Structure 1
Amino acid sequence: MALLFVDDATTASQRLWAMTSSLDFRHRKRIKLSALRGSMKRVASWKARFRLAILPWQPEDSLEIGTELRERPAFKSLPFLFYKAGKFKAQELASLEVLGLYHVLSGSWSDAELKLQLSFVYELQKKIDFLQISEEHWHETAMLLREMNQQLEALSNVDPLTNLSNRRHFDDVLQVEWKRAMRHGAALSILMIDIDHFKRFNDDYGHLAGDDCLQQVAGALRQQLRRPADLLARYGGEEFIVLLPQTEEAGARVVAESLRKLVESLKIESGGEALKRSVTVSIGVASWTPQKGDRPELLVQAADDALYRAKEGGRNRVESMPVPSKDSR
C-alpha cells in the first residue's frame, strides 16, 4: 500500500509526515503543495498503487487540487484525508462533498487517533478494491458470455456439413422478409432444389462421396447467388432452398435455370474418378406478393409442389407453381 503525502511546509504537515513513517505503507511519496500544482501528469504517472492521499486543507487550493486529482484514473476512487491545524468549518466540509470519498483530521491529534483514522481508511479501500475487481471480473465474464452466446447462435444457424444456413435460420429469415414484402408490396420467390437420384448416388459411391457431392453442389450454388439479400440454405437431406426477395416469377426462373445449368456442368468425381453420369438438380419455383392474411408456408408448399412436378417431368428441369388463391385454400 502506497501513500501520497502533500506537504504544505507547516508544523502540522511535518508532524503528520513523521507519524506516517510508523504506519504500514510500503511506499510513501511526498510532494510539496507548490510543486503539485504543476506536476499532475507526473504524479498520475507514478507506478505506485496509492491507497491514500493526505492533503493539507487550504481554502483556495485544496478543493481545486482534489478535483483535478479525481479526474486522473489512479485517483478516481482513492480516499482523501485532509488535515488542518484548526477546526473545519461547516461550509468547508460541505464543499468537500463533491470529491466523494474523503476524511478530515483537524486540531491536534495523537498517534493513536491517526492510526485509527488510517486503519479505517485502509480497510475501506480494501473493500473498494475488492468491489472494483469483482465488477471488472463481472464485466469480463458478461462480455465473454455474450461472445459465446453469439458464437452459439451463429453455429445454431449453420448446417455443419455444407456451412450453409440451416432450415431453422431459413424459416426465421423468411418470416422477416415476408413481412417486409407485405409492407412494400414487393414480390418474394422461393426455389426448392433437389439433387436428382441422390439415394442411388449414395448406393453407388458411398456416403462419404455423397457428403462430398453435397458440399460441392452447395459451394457452386453459393457462388452463383451474388445478391446480399438472397439466402441459400440446406433444407434437409439432399434438398436446398433459396429465398429471393423482391423477385418476380420471371426473374426467379432465370436464376433457377442458371443454377440448374451450373450444377449440371460440375465435374464431380468420386475417389478421383469421373462419375458415370453428371450430377443434376430439379428445381421448383414459386413467387408471390404477400397480402394481409397470407402465410409464408403456402409459398414454401407451392415451391415444393413445383419441385415434385419437375421430378415427375423427367428431372434436371425447372418448373413453376402458383400459390393457391384464398378461395382454394
Structure 2
Amino acid sequence: MFYILDGGLQTLVQDMGRKDYYHLGVPPSGAADRYSYSLGNILLGNPVDYAALEITLLGPKIEVRKKTVIAITGAPLEVKLNGNPAPMWETICVQEGDILTLRSAQKGVKSYLCVSGGIQVPHVLGSRSTYTLSQLGGFHGRKLQAGDEVTLGEPLPGVFHHIGMRIPDEYLPKFSSSVDIRMVMGISSYRVSDEGIKTFLNSEWQVGLESNNIAYRYSGATASFKSIDPPFGAGNNASNTVDIVYPIGAIMVPNEEELILLLRDATTGGGFVTIGTTINADMDVVAQSRPHAKTRFIAVTVDQAIEARMQKKKKLSTLQSLLR
C-alpha cells in the first residue's frame, strides 16, 4: 500500500483509458503521455495497461507500506527516497516504511509512478483511469490527498531480480520548450480563409495558462475566417458551425486569435470551427508542453499519421523485447 502524506499538485490514477464510451459522452481519459507511462510498465515487466500514478508538475510524498519495485518516468522530477536522490527511468526496490518524495518537474508536465503489479482501484466502464470532471474512476474519482491509502498489486514474479534495470537513452523522450505538432487538416477547415490557414501553419503559437487534461489553449497568432454567414442553426458568430462530434486531438478555432486542442478528458462535441486533428503519435508531446511553450503545427496526410503511430508502436515493442 501507498500511504499519501502529501498529494502534490494533482496526482491521479491513470491507465490506457476507457474505450467505446465516447459516443455516450464519456471521454477516454487515461495517461496524458502514454509513451512515458508505457515505458514505466515495460521496465517493470507489467502488462502495458497496468494503472499508475500520473503526477502533474509537483509530485506527492508517499510512505511505502509494502515491499515492491517501482519506476518513475515522464517529465524530469526531483526524486528522493528516504531523503537521498533516486533515479528516474530505472527500477527501484522500496521497502516497507520508506518515504518517497517527488517534487517539482524541471521540464515537461506529466510524470508517472509505476509499480510492479499496478495500482489497484476498481474498474469503472472498463478502466481504472480518473475522469475528475464527473468524479469517475480512479481513486474515488479525484486527485490523491493526504491520508489516502492506495492499494498496490502483488509484485510480479522475478521482478526483484531486475533492480537497477534502466531504459536505454535512445528510447527516452525529449522535453522541450519548443515543439512541432503534426496534424491532419479537415473537418470544418473550409470555414477558415486561405490566408488564415497559411498563417495558422506558418506561425508560432504559445500554450496558455488555462491548459489542463481537458484541453490546451494556444494564442499568439491568428487564423482568420472566411467572410460567410454561419449555416442555419449554428449561431451568429463566424466561429460557429452546426454541432459536430469532436475527435480527441481536435483543434478548434473559437475566435481568430485562439486555438483549443482537445486532450483525453475532452468534451465530446460542440459547434466551433475545427481546423483539423492532432495525430495520435504527437498527443504525448502536446501533454508535456508547459505554459508558454512555443508550438508550430505541421500539416500531414492521414497515411503519414498512421505511419507515425505504427513507428511508435514498433519502438515500444522493440524495447519490450530488448528488456526481456
| Range into which the TM-score falls when normalised by the shorter chain | under 0.3
* Structure number with higher strand proportion: 2
For the pair shown, the structure with the greater C-alpha radius of gyration is 1
Normalising to structure 2: TM-score of the pair? 0.19
Higher helix share: 1
TM-score computed with the length of structure 1 as normaliser:
0.19
Which structure ranks higher in relative contact order (CA pairs < 8 Å, sequence separation ≥ 6)? 2
